[in-house]
């Protein structure tokens, strides 16, 4: 069986976890802070806040930027539900911006039109959350320009995109064009901590606030007894363990290798999938994708369904990423408009296998099935 994605764990990772498990601290120890520093250095940000999931990172990011009851938060409909649920956790109102139908990324033209109309009705968003779908960067420079014109904050949902670059040598996570970037360390992502996530920022106040939110809203008060603490706001138990952070640091040391291999696999798909009935999603030539996913587009929903079943019958476990969020039963009750580009993309998209240990023989097998489709 060939999955669409999987974790890559070696003996170094196992040894790192073992050492943490044998240490004095398996949680709330020094390894979490060290992981935050190492990842911040890698992406070029000032601060990192490690948490127990990418979803938790999105939640505390929204709260740290002041999201609350009645505020509007906009994101992409072509994403996992965590990208929008984080707004609802804060009591905010969620809405979506249509995507580019060939890339799956937030469409900046659609964003600008929506902003113009929202300004007329007094419904401008407090936060916009672009999603770097499949590891391909959004047009963050343009989105940042619009934020300056319309006054919204930006959280990059970079859950797919650790190791990707906006422009050459400018990594996603440096927060050049946003207030906060969020990463996920779920097993199928670029690196894994088992479950885990991190929010990075260049703003010390935001970083301090997120660290407080991840640990029950509790602070230590200077000049008081060492055992004394105060809860100053409602917070959460979103902490990462030292065991997870140890795995994360070991994985981070191999990230560039992982991204390089993923790019080689993607380049081979690009050149050897010759079937005119399928095509890769549109990608920018300026930056670098991390290739968390390798999505292809078929000619329509019927063709996608047929190819999906043919691949599964041959033990190639492809997946559809994603069902548009507004189609979920919980969201249908909110009666969103249809997003035509998202509908087009959803009817055609299929993620085929890409992960660092995918060998050439298995890739040959996948390519052969698609070419014969």
Cα 126 from Cα 67, distance rounded (Å): 7
Domains contained in the chain, number: 2
For residues 74 and 167, membership in a common domain is answered with yes
Give the end of a domain, one of 252, 286, 310: 252
Same domain assignment for residues 155 and 9: yes
Are both 55 and 177 inside the same structural domain? yes
Closest CA to 98 of 122, 74, 118, 121: 74
Asked if 210 and 119 sit in the same domain, the reply is: yes
pLDDT, position 286: 84
Residue 133 has what DSSP assignment?
Answer: G
273 plus 235 within the same structural domain = no
Tokens linked to 180: 């906060």
Which residues does the chain have with pLDDT short of 70? none
Residue 303 belongs to a domain with what CATH number?
3.90.1150.10
Tokens, residue 110: 């659609």
DSSP 280-335: EPP--SSSB---S-EEEE-SSHHHHHHHHHHHHHTTEE-B-----GGGSHHHHTT-
Give residue 225's pLDDT: 87
Indicate if 87 and 207 belong to the same structural domain. yes
Q: Given this model, what pLDDT does residue 222 score?
A: 81
CATH of the domain at 216: 3.40.640.10
Chain-centroid distance of CA 272 in Å reads 28
User: Given this model, what pLDDT does residue 284 score?
Assistant: 82
Indicate the residue among 217, 252, 287 that finishes a domain: 252
Q: How far is CA 51 from CA 25, 56, 176, 225, in A?
A: 17, 7, 22, 28
User: For position 221, what pLDDT does the model report?
Assistant: 81
Residues 168 and 37 grouped into a single domain: yes
The pLDDT tens digits for 83-118 are 999 999 999 999 999 999 999 999 999 999 999 999
Q: Which domain holds residue 16?
A: 2-252
User: Which positions ≥6 away from 36 have C-beta within 8 Å?
Assistant: 47, 48, 49, 50, 198
Instruction: Enter the tokens of residue 32.
Output: 């979490």
Ranges of H-type helices in the chain: 11-21, 30-43, 54-64, 82-89, 108-121, 140-150, 204-213, 242-252, 255-272, 301-313, 329-332, 340-348, 360-372
**Residues 235, 98: one domain?**
yes
Last residue of a domain, one of 252, 279, 313: 252
């Amino acid at each position: 069986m060939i999955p669409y994605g999987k974790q890559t764990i070696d003996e170094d990772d196992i040894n790192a976890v073992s050492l943490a498990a044998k240490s004095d601290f398996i949680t709330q120890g020094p390894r979490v802070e060290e992981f935050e520093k190492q990842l911040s250095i890698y992406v070029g940000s000032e601060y990192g806040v490690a948490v127990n999931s990418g979803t938790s990172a999105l939640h505390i990011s929204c709260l740290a930027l002041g999201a609350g009851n009645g505020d509007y938060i906009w994101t992409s409909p072509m994403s996992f539900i965590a990208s929008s649920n984080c707004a609802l956790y804060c009591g905010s109102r969620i809405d979506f911006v249509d995507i580019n139908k060939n890339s799956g990324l937030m469409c900046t033209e659609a964003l600008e039109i929506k902003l113009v109309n929202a300004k007329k009705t007094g419904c401008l968003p407090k936060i916009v959350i672009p999603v770097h779908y499949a590891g391909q960067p959004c047009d963050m420079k343009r989105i940042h320009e619009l934020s300056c014109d319309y006054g919204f904050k930006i959280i990059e949902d970079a859950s797919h995109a650790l190791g990707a670059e906006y422009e050459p040598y400018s990594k996603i996570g440096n927060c050049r064009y946003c207030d906060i970037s969020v990463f996920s360390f779920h097993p199928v992502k670029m690196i894994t901590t088992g479950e885990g996530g991190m929010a990075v920022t260049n703003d010390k106040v935001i970083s301090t606030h997120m660290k407080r939110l991840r640990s029950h809203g509790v602070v230590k008060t200077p000049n008081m007894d060492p055992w004394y603490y105060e809860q100053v706001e409602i917070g959460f138990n979103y902490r990462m363990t030292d065991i997870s952070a140890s795995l994360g640091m070991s994985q981070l040391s191999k990230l560039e290798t992982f991204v390089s291999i993923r790019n080689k696999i993607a380049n081979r798909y690009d050149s050897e999938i010759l079937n005119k009935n399928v095509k890769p999603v549109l990608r920018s030539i300026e930056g670098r994708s991390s290739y968390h996913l390798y999505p292809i587009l078929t000619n329509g929903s019927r063709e996608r369904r047929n190819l999906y079943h043919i691949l599964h019958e041959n033990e190639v476990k492809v997946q559809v990423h994603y069902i548009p969020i507004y189609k979920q039963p919980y969201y249908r009750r909110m009666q969103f408009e249809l997003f035509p580009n998202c509908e087009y993309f959803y009817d055609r998209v299929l993620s085929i296998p890409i992960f660092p240990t995918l060998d050439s023989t298995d890739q040959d097998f996948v390519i052969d099935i698609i070419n014969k489709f």
